[in-house]
Chains A and B, each alone.
Chain A
Amino acid sequence: NAGVMQNPRHLVRRRGQEARLRCSPMKGHSHVYWYRQLPEEGLKFMVYLQKENIIDESGMPKERFSAEFPKEGPSILRIQQVVRGDSAAYFCASSPDGYGYTFGSGTRLTVV
């Protein structure tokens, strides 16, 4: 089992571009979570998804951010029209049961 796979590891975008972050959960895990970690800060919950459904998006900014977890393929966190404040590490976690999380290595987004 390859664990939770996130790609890319590092992503550089210019202001105004779109960023797409991918997360492939562990085999057999149907729960996917996205967290954001700003420099020198803790992890902030963004969104919780199960296959084809958004369960809780209470941590997502109201604009420019969206997430999906399609029936086939990885979960995608999409950030449109990125701004410098979006620069952060974005972590995905998956779980078979809702609380036994396994984290990916993260995507470090830098907006220039």
Chain B
Amino acid sequence: AQSVAQPEDQVNVAEGNPLTVKCTYSVSGNPYLFWYVQYPNRGLQFLLKYITGDNLVKGSYGFEAEFNKSQTSFHLKKPSALVSDSALYFCAVYKAAGNKLTFGGGTRVLVKP
């Protein structure tokens, strides 16, 4: 069965510092991987996805993620965090056989001024 894990419930970072949100996956075959962000009382917004091609994927709001097949990871990164990046971040994996996204438990990011 496909699954995705986000090992950190919360990440705290100072504004201007690099931000990393970790995600590992377990799926047979080639994974389709996604990152979404959720602001308070809002729905999920798409940030970026990896389907195939370059391992470094660039997305919205200055975020990027690196697909690492050997480590089965898809960590989300931002070189310089903003206070407005404080939100809940979800990693997700899609498998065609199931035809649905499976989400990790989420990581709350708090960027302090």
Question: Residues on A close to B: CB < 8 A?
Answer: 4, 6, 31, 33, 35, 41-45, 48, 55-56, 91, 93, 98-99, 101-106, 108
Given A91-B44, A106-B43, also A41-B105 (CB < 8 A): yes
Say yes or no: B105 contacts A99, CB within 8 Å: no
A55 to B44 CA separation, bound complex (whole angstroms): 23
Q: A43-B90, A45-B102 are in contact. List 11 more A-B contacts (CB 8 A).
A: A4-B43, A6-B43, A41-B106, A42-B104, A43-B103, A44-B103, A91-B43, A99-B101, A101-B101, A106-B42, A106-B43
Using Cβ atoms and an 8 Å threshold, which residues of chain A touch B101?
33, 45, 93, 99, 101
Nearest to B106 among chain A residues (CB) is A42
Please give me the residue from chain A that is nearest to B108 by CB atom.
A40
Give the total of B residues in contact with A, Cβ under 8 Å. Answer: 21
The reply to whether A103 and B98 contact each other, CB–CB distance below 8 Å, is no
* A33-B100 contact, Cβ under 8 Å, with A41-B105, A42-B90, A99-B32: yes
Pick the contact of A56: B36, B100, B103, B105 (CB < 8 A): B100
A4 CB to nearest chain B CB (Å):
8
Seen from chain B, the residues whose Cβ lies within 8 Å of a Cβ on chain A are 32, 34, 36, 41-46, 90, 94, 96, 98-106
> Which 10 A/B pairs are nearest by Cβ-Cβ distance?
A103-B43, A42-B105, A103-B44, A99-B94, A105-B43, A43-B103, A42-B106, A98-B99, A42-B103, A106-B43
B-chain residues with CB within 8 Å of residue A55 when the two chains form the complex: 99
When chains A and B are docked, how far (Å) is the Cα of A104 from the Cα of B44?
A: 8
**Closest CB-CB distance, A12 to chain B, in whole Å?**
16
- Chain A residue at minimum C-beta to C-beta distance from B107: A42
- Ordered by A's residue number, 19 sampled pairs between the chains whose C-beta atoms are within 8 Å are A4-B43, A6-B43, A33-B100, A33-B101, A42-B103, A42-B106, A43-B103, A43-B106, A45-B103, A56-B99, A56-B100, A93-B44, A93-B101, A98-B94, A99-B34, A102-B46, A103-B36, A103-B45, A108-B41
Query: Would you call A45 and B100 a contact (CB within 8 A)?
Result: yes
- Point out which of A35, A44, A48, A99 has the most chain B C-beta atoms below 10 A from its C-beta: A99
